[in-house]
C-alpha cells in the first residue's frame, strides 16, 4: 500500500506526494497529458521532438543538465503515444533545484532556430538508427499502419514520416508547446525523503505563478471495428523471417484490461508459458516468440510475434500460433496456470514499488488516468480475474476478422 497526499494549485497543476524515508534521495516527476496521438497526421513526431527540445534550455537557464549535475542529480524523459514524462532524481536536500528547473521550462523555452536544428538532427538520426537502419526496425511503422485506419495510434511515437520532422518550423514548435505544455495539463509527482507539506510549499512557490493555458478538448477519431483479416508481406535485409500479428483490444482503463494482461502472460511470460512450450520446445517452429498488450489509453493492440526457425514456412508458423490461441479461447486456462501468472504479476507490482522513482512515475500516471488510488487497487483487480474472464477475453480478442498479420521475410 502506497500512502500519498494530493494537492491542486489554482492554475490546475495536480501534485501527488509520497514519503519514503528509506532513501536519502527524491524523485520529481512531471507527466504531461500529451503524446503522439495528439499530433496532426501531417505533423507527426512532434511529441517526441519536444522531449528533446525541453532539454535545450530556456532564456533564464541556458543548460538544463548543468544545474542538475551540480547538485548530484540525474534526469531523463520518455514519450509514448499517450504521455510525455520528465523526471529528476537528486539528493533530498537539493529538492528545490528540480522544482525551479521544471517550472522554468514549463513556463517557456528558449525557442530559436539553432535549438530546433540541433534537436531536429538528433531526432532524425534516432529515427534512422532505430527504425530505418536496424533489422526489423520498421515493423512498428508497418504494423500500426496496417491495424489502424483513422485513429492516431496509426503512427508510432517517433512519427510516421521522417519528413515531418525535417520540415518542422519554429512556429509549428511554438504552437505545439503552448497548446499542450501547461500546469493544467500535467501532474507533478514527488516520491522520496520529503514531507508532503514541503513539496506542496515548493510547488506553490515555483509553479503557482504560472498561468493556465487554453487546452483544447481532445476529439480523436474512433477506430472502426475491424471486420476482416488483413495481411501484409514485405521483404527486408534480415537474417530470419518474422511474423507479427496484432488484434484490437481494449484500453488501459477498461475493466477487462487485467484479464487481457493475464492472457498475454499465460501465453508468453517465461519458459513455462504456452507459446514457448508448444512452439519453441515441442514443435521447434520458432527461435523466439512473444505476446504482450499495449496498455494504451484508447483501445490498443494485443501483439503476438515470433522469429521462425530455418525451413519453417510462414503459413505453418501462422497456423501454429492460431491453433494455440484458439485452444486457449475455447478451453480457457487451468486454475493453477492462472494463479501462477497472478502470483508473478503481484510479485512484480510489489518489487516495482521498492524504488522511489517507480512510485513517482506510477502515481503520476494513475492520477492522470483518473485516480492515483488505483495504484493500490491493482493487486485486487488482478486477483478478481477468473478463468471464465480470461476465456471470454480470448474469444473476443482472437476473432479471425480482428487480426492484422505482417509477414516479414528476408530478401530472396
Residue 254 has pLDDT above 90, yes or no: yes
Residue 293 in grid coordinates = 498488450
207-246 b/e (C-beta count within 10 Å ≥ 16 → b): beebeebeeeeeeeeebeebeeeeeeeeebebebbbbbbb
Residue 351 has pLDDT above 90, yes or no: no
pLDDT of the residue at 392: 97
CA–CA separation, 47 and 30 (whole Å) = 15
Tens-place pLDDT, residues 308-319:
999 999 999 999
CATH number of 230-410, picked from 3.30.830.10, 2.160.10.10, 3.90.550.10, 3.30.230.10:
3.30.830.10
Indicate the pLDDT class of residue 32, thresholds 50, 70 and 90: very high
Mean per-residue pLDDT of the chain: 96
* Mean pLDDT calculated for residue range 119-146: 94
360, 28 Cβ separation under 8 angstroms: yes
381, 345 Cβ separation under 8 angstroms: no
4-208 and 230-410 share one fold: yes
DSSP 202-266: HHHHHHTTSPP--PPPP-PPPPPPP-S-EEEEEEES-SS-EEEEEEE---TTSTTHHHHHHHHHH
Percent of the chain exceeding pLDDT 90 equals 94
* Mean pLDDT calculated for residue range 1-15: 97
Tens-place pLDDT, residues 212-222:
999 999 999 99
CA–CA separation, 190 and 192 (whole Å) = 7
- How many Cβ atoms from other residues are within 10 Å of residue 256's Cβ? 18
Indicate the pLDDT class of residue 56, thresholds 50, 70 and 90: confident
pLDDT of the residue at 244: 98
pTM above 0.85, yes or no: yes
Residue 410 has pLDDT above 90, yes or no: yes
pLDDT of the residue at 333: 97
412, 281 Cβ separation under 8 angstroms: no
Tens-place pLDDT, residues 94-131:
999 999 999 999 999 989 999 899 999 999 999 999 99
Give domain limits for the chain: 4-208, 230-410
Residue 71 in grid coordinates = 547538485
Residue 253 has pLDDT above 90, yes or no: yes
* Mean pLDDT calculated for residue range 81-96: 98
pLDDT of the residue at 353: 85
Superfamily of domain 4-208: Metalloenzyme, LuxS/M16 peptidase-like (3.30.830.10)
Closest CA to 111 of 189, 169, 183, 190: 169
Q: State how far the alpha carbon of 231 is from the alpha carbons of 26, 140, 321, 329, 407, in Å.
A: 48, 15, 15, 22, 8
Residue 34 has pLDDT above 90, yes or no: yes
* Mean pLDDT calculated for residue range 170-194: 96
CA dihedral over 352, 353, 355, 358, signed as positive or negative? positive
Tens-place pLDDT, residues 371-388:
999 999 999 999 999 999
pLDDT of the residue at 12: 98
Percent of the chain exceeding pLDDT 70 equals 100
Residue 352 has pLDDT above 90, yes or no: no
Amino acid at each position: 500500500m502506497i500512502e500519498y497526499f494530493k494537492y491542486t494549485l489554482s492554475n490546475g497543476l495536480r501534485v501527488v506526494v509520497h514519503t519514503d524515508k528509506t532513501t536519502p534521495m527524491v524523485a520529481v516527476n512531471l507527466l504531461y497529458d500529451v503524446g503522439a496521438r495528439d499530433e496532426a497526421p501531417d505533423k507527426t513526431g512532434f511529441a517526441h521532438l519536444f522531449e528533446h527540445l525541453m532539454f535545450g534550455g530556456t532564456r533564464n537557464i541556458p543548460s538544463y543538465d548543468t544545474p542538475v549535475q551540480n547538485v548530484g542529480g540525474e534526469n531523463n524523459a520518455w514519450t509514448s503515444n499517450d504521455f510525455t514524462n520528465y523526471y529528476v532524481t537528486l539528493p533530498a536536500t537539493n529538492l528545490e533545484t528540480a522544482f525551479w528547473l521544471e517550472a522554468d521550462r514549463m513556463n517557456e523555452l528558449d525557442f530559436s532556430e539553432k535549438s530546433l536544428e540541433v534537436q531536429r538532427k538528433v531526432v532524425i538520426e534516432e529515427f534512422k538508427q532505430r527504425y530505418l537502419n536496424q533489422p526489423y526496425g520498421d515493423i512498428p511503422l508497418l504494423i500500426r499502419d496496417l491495424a489502424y485506419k483513422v485513429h492516431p495510434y496509426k503512427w508510432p511515437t517517433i512519427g510516421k514520416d521522417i519528413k515531418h520532422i525535417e520540415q518542422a518550423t519554429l512556429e509549428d514548435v511554438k504552437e505545439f508547446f503552448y497548446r499542450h505544455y501547461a500546469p493544467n495539463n500535467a501532474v507533478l509527482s514527488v516520491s522520496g525523503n520529503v514531507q508532503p507539506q514541503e513539496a506542496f510549499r515548493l510547488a506553490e512557490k515555483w509553479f503557482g505563478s504560472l498561468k493556465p493555458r487554453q487546452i483544447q478538448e481532445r476529439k480523436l477519431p474512433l477506430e472502426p471495428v475491424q471486420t476482416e483479416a488483413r495481411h501484409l508481406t514485405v521483404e527486408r535485409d534480415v537474417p530470419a523471417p518474422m511474423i507479427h500479428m496484432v488484434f484490437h483490444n481494449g484500453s488501459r482503463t477498461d475493466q477487462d484490461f487485467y484479464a487481457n494482461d493475464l492472457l498475454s502472460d499465460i501465453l508468453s511470460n517465461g519458459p513455462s508459458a504456452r507459446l514457448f512450450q508448444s512452439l519453441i520446445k515441442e514443435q521447434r517452429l520458432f527461435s523466439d516468440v512473444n505476446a504482450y498488450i499495449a496498455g494504451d489509453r484508447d483501445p490498443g493492440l494485443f501483439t503476438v510475434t515470433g522469429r521462425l526457425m530455418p525451413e519453417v514456412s510462414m503459413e505453418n508458423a501462422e497456423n501454429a500460433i492460431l491453433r494455440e490461441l484458439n485452444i486457449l479461447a475455447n478451453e480457457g486456462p487451468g486454475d493453477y496456470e492462472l494463479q501462477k501468472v497472478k502470483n508473478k504479476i503481484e510479485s512484480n507490482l510489489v518489487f516495482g514499488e521498492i524504488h522511489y522513482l517507480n512510485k513517482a512515475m506510477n502515481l503520476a500516471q494513475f492520477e492522470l488516468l483518473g485516480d492515483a488510488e488505483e495504484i493500490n487497487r491493482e493487486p485486487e483487480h488482478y486477483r478478481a480475474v477468473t478463468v471464465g474472464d480470461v476465456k471470454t477475453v480470448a474469444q473476443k480478442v482472437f476473432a479471425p476478422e480482428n487480426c492484422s498479420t505482417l509477414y516479414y521475410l528476408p530478401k530472396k
